Structure 1
Amino acid sequence: MTDRAKEDKEQGLEQTETAENPVNEGEVNQETDKEFSNESEESEVSESAKLAKENQELKDKYVRLYSEFDNFRRRTAKERLELVNTASQDLIQEILPVLDDFERSFKAENNSNDEEQKHAGSKLIYNKLLRMLTSRGLKPMEDLVGKDFDAEYHEAITQIPAPSEEMKGKIVDVVEKGYTLAGKVVRYAKVVIGK
């Protein structure tokens, strides 16, 4: 037999084998495809369910966290408002005795004819009020005359001719005292500058 005849014979056998078992191979291929598709569908369904569950859990966490933050924001805003409204309560409680002292001073002024005694009462009240405010951190800006003008602490009201060459650009007079509270300017000192 020639090579050609051998090849034809082998092909004939292969065709016969495939012709004898065409259903079996098709069934096997279909079963394999079904098993593969079932597995992939199950894995897709389980993966999809897993992702949906995880998504829902994350949404729940987000909603809870957002609610907690919103409650925190409201609570702190309310506390801040209460703090602003009652911040001066302690100071006012300390000032009330000074107010009482002023009332007593007015009564004493009406009953007394001595000018020196009237001024002594007012000076005592002034010193009491100043001590109380300085204990709270208030500091007056003192000894400003002769110092350089500083716009961060002083407010220039006007300029006048300097009494001497050295006073040019410096503070000549203080019209209204300035105050600082914990290093921050509460009221600028109103000053007159020499030119």
Structure 2
Amino acid sequence: MTKDRETKGKEETKERSAAAGDSSAESGIRSGGTAHQHRQGSNEAAAQHGQTAQASGTAAPRNEMDERFLRLLADFDNFRKRTLRERDEVRKQAVEAVARELLPVLDGMDAAIASCGGFDASSQVADGFRNILAQALSALQKFGVERIEAVRGQMFDPSLHEAVGITSSADVGDHRIVQQMRPGYRIGSRLLRGAQVIVSSGPGSGAGGSSPAGGVSSEGGRG
């Protein structure tokens, strides 16, 4: 009986030891799995951090290149606009220079037309000069050159007219144009030459004669 109890006790002790060993092994396996999962999570976090850092490092040069490209586009647009302005200004200066050289020729045609009245067949000669003058004015008009014609009774405008004389007039009011002596020309708003005119001083006591224009101020009044 005593041996049986001892044998049974030893067997129970072995079983408890085996159970304890299995429990320890299972605990070790669980601990190992947890550690492995922790290391795997750490590796994934490190990989994500590396990808984020790489993306940030790539985005910075890209943004800098975009900014440089936009600045380059703005500089080119400013250069294009400045070039167009300079080209237009050079063109206007060239047209103005040519037009000024042609003004005496146009004045000569006007004088020739006015002098045709004293010759035979003057109408045909005058018509020929008028046609030539019209063609010349049409060609100049294509480049923006306009002829300024002063009309009798028109108010004197110092920005368009040049007073070369003053005369009294019964039918033309004060500071108004009595007669045009020579037409003027302009390119757009730029005056090449004002139209030379005789300005009325209003009704006078005498028959009325012209006098130098020194008495007409820039405002169209008399000094």
TM-score (norm 1): 0.47
User: In terms of Rg, which structure is larger?
Assistant: 2
TM-score (norm 2): 0.42
